[in-house]
């Protein structure tokens, strides 16, 4: 059996203000580890990724990680104690919002240094990283027809090698909500964002006929049209008008077949990476997420911004307790206020449903070493790098700014990413510590494992092993590997989720309102 690594290599301290160190490997009760307070004997077994105290903390005193408060002692804490949910709770943190004090000027790369990828240039100037044809359901009642149509084209690339697939976009909404209300408008925004996405060459809309979310209203209000121009109305199939399910399937299949030759004509051309809009998301976070994958992705985000691209940070309920870091990077008071307004909306929304931000983290997060939502949020915002926060947009709103943009999305991964893709993201970077199997059609999703154990255990799902950071790989080196892989994926390299065929069931429009 190999000897145990030396004590000092088995823990990490992330910031000089921290009161805890992080276990890099599982540690047994009685083990002695080196901390900033000297050698400390462990008073309990410590799982990998979990926290060890090296200072005395009385009940009510704060504990720090990342140099920020992650909660308050709910029981007396001694050096060598396991710090977790049994002796740490969120409490109330007083925050000072210093708007823009950390907003540093971004020094862009000169034009001669621009990186490029091979993408599909669309008529509106945006660039796709994939070339799909979509079948869009306006209402859950047409979902079965939409899936049946898509199933008829599972091997479409054999006859049309320039087409990545025919994707079925089905959901559980479209009726039973207030006409022209918040949910109705949100769903319209999502469906229009996907149908008109740069990764979608053409699409067919399928409805029932009597739903709240009427196809012609959707088209008229969102300006949807096929690439032929504003007068080129998208094909619409109504099940009731067509004569029932079988007739609607036949009619929609005929429309897809008519559009496929057009979609197949699209060709990849050399495009600047400034055309990339990167969605960033966490899923199944653990105690390593804020140490390895998230800051490495943040480094890649900073580079993309320097090249003139855009990156989107979301999951509003998972920045609670870390929003002050984004406020400090806001380019203006107006941008900062937009973020604070969205947080205030979420507090009202959760209270109205008898919920609280403390219902996050999830059981998997807790098992992975995350104790409070504050700790989770502080690790999560690292995905956004260090550049200024240039804009805050609502769910599924089109992202038009260059730089770091925050989108108001829920923490639930499929709903969060659905909003960012509807907003125009043509690439996804998804970090995971517990092991997510997430994918997203029509946009490729690169999955970044926060630790090497998950990478090895789920090698068919994970694209990159960011656990290498724990073994000495620098954040810059890991971030550069992420950026290089993103450029390759944007140029057509298949991600693990694409190879597994994952991505249709993860289309989950967020509908926060009541069902009538």
What is the average pLDDT value for the chain, to the nearest integer? 94
Question: Which helix (H) or strand (E) segment is 187 a member of?
Answer: helix 182-195
Residue 319 has phi, psi (to 5 degrees) of -115, 0
**pLDDT band of 130, cuts 50, 70, 90:** very high
User: Which residue has better confidence, 409 or 6?
Assistant: 409
Q: Give me the helices (H) in 368-412, please.
A: 373-380
243 Cβ contact list (under 8 Å, min separation 6): none
pLDDT at residue 472, rounded to an integer: 93
pLDDT at residue 111, rounded to an integer: 96
Q: Is 278 helix (H, G, I), strand (E, B) or coil?
A: strand
Q: The dihedral of CA 213, 214, 215, 217: what is its sign?
A: negative
pLDDT tens digits, one per residue of 345-385 = 999 999 999 988 877 789 999 999 999 999 999 999 999 99
Residue 345 has phi, psi (to 5 degrees) of -60, -45
pLDDT at 93 over 90: no
- The secondary structure of 304-358, three-state, reads HHHCCCEEEECCHHHCCCCHHHHHCCECCHHHHHHHHHHHHHHHHHHHHCCCCHH
513 Cβ contact list (under 8 Å, min separation 6): 177, 178, 181, 182, 183
pLDDT at 12 over 70: yes
pLDDT at 2 over 50: no
Q: The dihedral of CA 342, 348, 352, 353: what is its sign?
A: positive
Mean pLDDT for 446-466 is: 97
Query: In angstroms, rounded to a whole number, what is the distance separating the alpha carbons of residues 294 and 414?
Result: 19
pLDDT at 514 over 70: yes
pLDDT at residue 238, rounded to an integer: 98
Tell how far CA 380 is from the center of its chain: 10
List C-alpha distances in Å: 393 to 324, 390, 434. 18, 10, 29
- Among candidate residues 364, 258, 307, 314, the one with its CA nearest the CA of residue 116: 307
Query: In angstroms, rounded to a whole number, what is the distance separating the alpha carbons of residues 455 and 467?
Result: 8
pLDDT at 228 over 80: no
Mean pLDDT for 444-462 is: 97
pLDDT tens digits, one per residue of 301-347 = 999 999 999 999 999 999 999 999 999 999 999 999 999 999 999 99
pLDDT tens digits, one per residue of 150-208 = 999 999 999 999 999 999 999 999 999 999 999 999 999 999 999 999 999 999 999 99
pLDDT tens digits, one per residue of 14-51 = 999 999 999 999 999 999 988 776 788 999 999 999 99
Q: Burial, 388: exposed, middle or buried (Cβ in 10 Å; 0-12, 13-18, 19+)?
A: buried
Structure tokens at 320: 């609670």
- Among candidate residues 202, 196, 199, 193, the one with its CA nearest the CA of residue 128: 199
pLDDT at residue 34, rounded to an integer: 81
pLDDT at residue 191, rounded to an integer: 98
CATH assignment, 7-89: 2.30.130.110
Return the percentage of the chain with pLDDT > 70, whole number: 97
Mean pLDDT for 103-132 is: 97
User: Which residue has better confidence, 240 or 232?
Assistant: 240
- Predicted TM-score (pTM) of this structure: 0.95
pLDDT at residue 83, rounded to an integer: 97
pLDDT at residue 230, rounded to an integer: 44
pLDDT at residue 359, rounded to an integer: 73
Q: Is 71 helix (H, G, I), strand (E, B) or coil?
A: strand
The per-residue DSSP string of 142-170 comes to GHHHHHHHHHTTTTHHHH-TT--EEEEE-
pLDDT at 7 over 60: no
pLDDT tens digits, one per residue of 207-222 = 999 999 999 999 999 9
- Hey, what CATH class is 132-264 in? alpha beta
**pLDDT band of 510, cuts 50, 70, 90:** very high
pLDDT at residue 227, rounded to an integer: 59
List C-alpha distances in Å: 492 to 100, 120, 427. 38, 10, 11
Longest dimension (CA), the chain: 78
Q: Tokens 């000089």 correspond to what residue?
A: 16
Q: Are strands 389-393 and 165-169 parallel, antiparallel or unpaired?
A: unpaired
pLDDT at residue 82, rounded to an integer: 97
State the CB neighbour count (10 A cutoff) for residue 333.
Answer: 12
Query: In angstroms, rounded to a whole number, what is the distance separating the alpha carbons of residues 374 and 88?
Result: 11
Structure tokens at 362: 């999830």
Query: In angstroms, rounded to a whole number, what is the distance separating the alpha carbons of residues 320 and 374?
Result: 6
**pLDDT band of 1, cuts 50, 70, 90:** very low
pLDDT at residue 158, rounded to an integer: 94
pLDDT at 4 over 50: no
The per-residue DSSP string of 461-490 comes to T-SEEGGGGGGT--HHHHHHHHHHHHHHHH
424 close to 197: Cβ distance less than 8 angstroms: yes
Structure tokens at 6: 């030396």
pLDDT at 3 over 90: no
């Amino acid at each position: 059996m190999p000897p145990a690594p030396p004590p000092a290599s088995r823990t990490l301290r992330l910031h000089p203000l921290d009161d805890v160190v992080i276990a890099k490997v599982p540690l047994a009760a009685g083990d002695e580890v080196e901390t900033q307070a000297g050698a400390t004997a462990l008073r309990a077994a410590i799982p990998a990724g979990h926290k060890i105290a090296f200072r005395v903390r009385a009940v009510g005193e704060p504990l720090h990680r990342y140099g920020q408060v992650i909660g308050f002692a709910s029981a007396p804490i001694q050096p060598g104690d396991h710090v977790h949910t049994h002796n740490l709770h969120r409490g109330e943190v007083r925050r000072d919002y210093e708007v823009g004090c950390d907003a540093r000027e971004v020094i862009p790369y000169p034009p001669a240094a621009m990186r490029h990828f091979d993408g599909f240039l669309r008529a509106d100037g945006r660039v796709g990283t994939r070339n799909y044809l979509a079948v869009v359901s306006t209402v859950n009642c047409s979902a079965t027809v939409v899936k049946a149509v898509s199933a008829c084209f599972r091997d479409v690339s054999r006859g049309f090698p320039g087409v990545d697939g025919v994707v079925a976009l089905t959901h559980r909404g479209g009726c039973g909500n207030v006409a022209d209300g918040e949910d109705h408008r949100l769903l319209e925004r999502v469906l229009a964002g996907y149908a008109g996405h740069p990764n979608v060459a053409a699409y067919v809309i399928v409805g029932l006929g009597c739903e709240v979310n009427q196809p012609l209203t959707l088209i008229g209000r969102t300006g949807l049209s096929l690439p032929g121009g504003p007068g080129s109305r998208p094909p619409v199939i109504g099940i009731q008008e067509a004569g029932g399910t079988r007739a609607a399937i036949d009619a929609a299949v005929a429309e897809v077949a008519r559009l496929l030759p057009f979609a197949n004509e699209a060709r990849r051309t050399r495009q600047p990476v400034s055309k990339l809009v990167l969605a960033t998301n966490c899923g199944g976070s653990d105690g390593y997420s804020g140490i390895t994958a998230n800051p490495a992705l943040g480094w890649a985000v900073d580079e993309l911004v320097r090249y003139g691209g855009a990156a989107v940070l979301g999951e509003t309920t998972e920045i609670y307790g870390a929003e002050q870091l984004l406020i400090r990077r806001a380019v203006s008071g107006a941008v900062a206020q937009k973020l604070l307004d969205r947080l205030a909306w979420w507090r009202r929304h959760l209270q109205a449903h008898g919920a609280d931000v403390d219902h996050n983290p999830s059981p998997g997060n807790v098992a992975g070493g995350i104790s409070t939502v504050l700790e989770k949020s502080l690790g999560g915002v690292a995905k956004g790098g260090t550049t200024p926060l240039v804009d805050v947009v609502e769910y599924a709103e089109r992202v038009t700014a260059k730089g770091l943009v925050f989108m108001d999305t829920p923490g639930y991964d499929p709903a969060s990413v659905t909003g960012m893709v509807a907003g125009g993201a043509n690439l996804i970077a998804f970090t995971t510590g517990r092991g997510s199997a997430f994918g997203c059609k029509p946009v490729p999703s690169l999955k970044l494992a926060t630790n090497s154990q998950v990478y090895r255990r789920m090698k068919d799902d994970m694209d990159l092993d960011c656990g290498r950071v724990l073994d000495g790989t620098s954040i810059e080196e890991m971030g550069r590997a992420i950026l290089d892989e993103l450029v390759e994926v944007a140029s057509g390299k298949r991600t693990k989720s694409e190879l597994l065929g994952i991505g249709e069931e993860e289309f989950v429009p967020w509908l926060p309102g009541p069902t009538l």
